[in-house]
Chains A and B, each alone.
Chain A
Amino acid sequence: MSLLKSNGVLILSPRVIALFLLLILFSSFCVLYSLTSGSVDIGLARVVEIILGDNEGMQGKVIMELRLPRVLSGFLVGGMLALAGALMQVLLKNPLAEPYVLGVSGGASVCALLAMMAGIAGAWLNIAAFVGALFSILLVFGLARLGGSWNPLRVLLTGIVVASGWGALVSFLLAVSPATQIHGMLFWLMGDLEYARNFKLGLAVLFCGFVISMLIARGLNLMARGDNQAAALGVSVDHLRYVVYFLASMLTATAVMQAGNIGFIGLIVPHLVRLLLGSDHRILIPVSVLLGGSLLVIADTLARTIIAPQQLPVGVLTAMIGVPLFLFLLQTTMLKSRS
């Protein structure tokens, strides 16, 4: 299916606008639903009242200070991961690429675990994770640049090897950590929105990332057809690559710093959108951001409530929702294209 019809309907056709309105409605519904659920039952009407300004009392406190920051951060993290995944897939010319493939999360994990072992908590833990992510980004970029010309396969292999190096370090740190810290560490590694409270940072990063991505979207469409083809059609591929690399990395680093390793969103959401709507990045990017955000909010709501009062790491839920959804879509679209 394509959103560009040969009878001359353009990108901003009524169909596309309807699709976006529907998605925005769906995202808002996910956020509102997530706000109503939790250990304290608060009705939808009351939630809306509280958000609109009437935030007196205990319920107001729960919504404004606990749930709203967490839900918004969750949405932003999901959006960042989906966007980063879409960018990585184009950069590496590989539909299986995802935000963590170049070792960003590995570097973040090692630094975060080291920080935990040193007894650091709260905001400093996030900063440690961010430093680790940045270090890994620069390391892979430097190693990939050593060989001269850019080769997606070599970048990918470099990233994968560095990531597995980080993985070994993570295992080592887990093995030597005291038993009392292991639980917290595992939760961090599996991805957890418990400490994601700073949604202003996420909002700023996602907003910038989104605007830049939309500006280069037409160039990305050409880059997806091969770097040489894009260059022959007038895209400054060398510059675009660096923009995409650092954009995807910063989005991933910010997401990891807030929520640890949340798998599947960055791989599945852009892939799913490609299956459903094609690969025009002017549509793929906004749809991925909205869908990624919504999916993570749903997963986090379930993680908080499914076996309440105990909480599950949200990364487990994203996989449990994402895997069957993706397999189902893969099967149905394959059947459709065969018939």
Chain B
Amino acid sequence: MSLLAVKDLSISIGSLPICTSFDFELQCDEYWGVLGGNGIGKTTLLNTLAGLRSAESGDIRIDGLALHQWKKKQLACTLGLLFQDSVDTFPTTVLETALTGRYPHLSFLSLEGQEDIELANQALSDVALDELTERQVDTLSGGERRRLALATLLVQNPRLWLLDEPTNHLDLHHQINLLNLIIDKVKANRGALLMVLHDVNLVMRFCTHVMMMIDHNNIICGPVAEVLSTENLSLLYQHPIKKIQSDGGSFFLPE
């Protein structure tokens, strides 16, 4: 059974359509990259798939069960979402933030225990923030905040990972490290991944499949090897793209 199945999905923001009658399936052990121009609706699609906003029509099933039938906490144990930005209106520490990932796993009145704190510390050391556990979040740099958000998701430990531009603010080293880390984690859970990226070459490197949101009637889905071509990419970005062969691999670059 597919982990995420979307049938006949239509989404719009006001009068602006994002997708119409969109069908899509995400199987276990698949890693999808989502490509699309600015404002095409990648974030809206992700939020809809996570149940944070309602679709106009259509059917979304997670692990076979319709999205609205899921209990919120159980859904959060299965499906995790990384947002583009994090909010820090109120003072809070790095460890407290990472611990919020345990919320769906704990019963209504229980306190975080030793085990939860160990999980949070482990995730923080995975993203190389273990030195900063007591720091106030508003004193972190953009990249450190990004890693903290990822650590929270690692603590949440879902099977279906929806990531909205996970590499934002990250330096090259952390981009590769963290994507490797996420892929390993998804593999270990026998889960699946859908992530919005703006770097086509990262999609080539980490993803098995790609979803290209050209416009609301035309969303191309398929394995990377079949779909990711200079023609499709040029159409997608409305900009000529060329392919360069090097070191036995190929790379896409804008002309």
Please, how many residues of chain B have a CB less than 8 angstroms from a CB on the other chain? Answer: 44
Interface range, A side: 20 to 34
CB neighbors of B among A261-288 (8 A): 274-275, 278-280
A8 touching B93 by the CB < 8 A rule?
no
Q: Contact check, A2 vs B111: say whether CB atoms are below 8 A apart.
A: no
Q: Which of B69-77, B229-237, B246-254 sits within the interface?
A: B69-77
The answer to whether A228 and B52 touch across the interface, beta carbons within 8 angstroms, is: yes
- How distant is the Cα of A221 from the Cα of B113 in the complex, in angstroms? 17
Q: Kindly state the separation between the CA atoms of A11 and B111 in the bound complex, as whole angstroms.
A: 7
Inter-chain contacts of A38 with B (CB < 8 A): none
Complex Cα gap A222–B106 (Å): 13
B117 within 8 A of A: yes
Q: Is the CB of B100 within 8 A of A233?
A: yes
Cβ of B168 within 8 Å of any chain A Cβ, yes or no, is no
In this complex, the member of B73, B81, B90, B95 whose beta carbon has the largest number of chain A beta carbons within 10 angstroms is: B90
B134 to chain A, nearest CB (A): 6
Counting residue pairs across A and B whose Cβ atoms lie within 8 Å, the total is: 101
Q: B106: nearest residue on chain A (CB-CB)?
A: A218
Q: How far is the CB of B168 from chain A (nearest CB, A)?
A: 16
* Complex interface residues of chain A between 1 and 30 (CB less than 8 A to chain B): 2, 4-6, 8, 10-12
Q: Is the interface of A mostly helix, strand, loop or mixed?
A: loop
A59 to B114 alpha-carbon distance, docked (Å): 54
Closest CB in chain A relative to B132 CB, distance in Å: 10
- Assuming the contacts A6-B133, A10-B112, A94-B89, asked whether A232 and B50 have C-beta atoms less than 8 A apart, the reply is yes
Is B33 interfacial (CB-CB < 8 Å)? no
Of the candidates A6, A95, A215, A280, the one having the most CB atoms from chain B within 10 angstroms of its own CB is A6
A231 to B72, CA, bound (A): 8
Asked if B207 is at the interface (CB within 8 A of a chain A CB), the reply is: no
Which of A225, A231, A236 is B100 in contact with, Cβ under 8 Å? Answer: A225
Whole-angstrom CA separation of A274 from B109 in the bound complex:
22
- CB of B121 within 8 A of CB of A225, answer no
The answer to whether A11 and B89 have CB atoms under 8 Å apart is no
* A93 within 8 Å of B (CB atoms): yes
- With both chains docked as a complex, state the minimum distance between the C-beta of B8 and any C-beta of chain A, in angstroms: 24
- A residues contacting B by CB (< 8 A) are 2, 4-6, 8, 10-12, 89-90, 93-95, 215, 218, 221-222, 224-226, 228-229, 231-236, 274-275, 278-280, 337
Can you list 7 pairs linking A and B with CB atoms under 8 Å apart?
A: A4-B95, A6-B133, A222-B100, A225-B86, A232-B83, A234-B72, A234-B76
Q: A4-B99, A6-B134 are in contact. List 4 more A-B contacts (CB 8 A).
A: A11-B112, A215-B109, A279-B90, A337-B136
